[in-house]
Amino acid sequence: MAAQPGTSVAKAATKSESVQATKRASIPCSKPRGNNSNYSWAQGSNDSTTVYFNNHCSHTVTAKLTFRAGDDGTYKKCMTTNGGTHGKKRFTVTRYQLESIKQGTC
């Protein structure tokens, strides 16, 4: 790929490297069947992560969030959402990065 005149290839590469991939998780509903409670997040700074949720269930859903900090182990938090709601929740867990969201209790 050729660089456009006046465009810095190094600057473009640096910008794309700073963009984090969005991760996603789903928890199936017991009612109505076939629907899910969906979650998405991208790693922010080392201090916080925002989790976006959309609960398509007709009941509350509790998700277990697992944060990891290299060899320092894991840290778990719970997130409960009401049925038929969507929004976001910010978690401030210094040095830990959100690894997974699964159905469960803490």
pLDDT in tens, 38-51: 999 997 666 889 99
pLDDT in tens, 60-90: 999 999 999 877 788 899 999 999 999 999 9
pLDDT in tens, 53-62: 999 999 999 9
**Which residue shows structure tokens 């465009």?**
7
d(CA 101, CA 17): 25
Cis peptide before 32 (omega within 30 of 0): yes
Say what the pLDDT of residue 6 is.
52
Q: What would the DSSP string read from start to end of the chain?
A: -PPPTT--HHHHHHHHHHPPPPEEEEEE-SSSTT-EEEEEE---SSSEEEEEEEE-SSS-EEEEEEEE-GGG-EEEEEEEE-TT-EEEEEEE-TT-EEEEEEE---
**Which residue shows structure tokens 């997130």?**
79
pTM for the whole thing?
Answer: 0.76
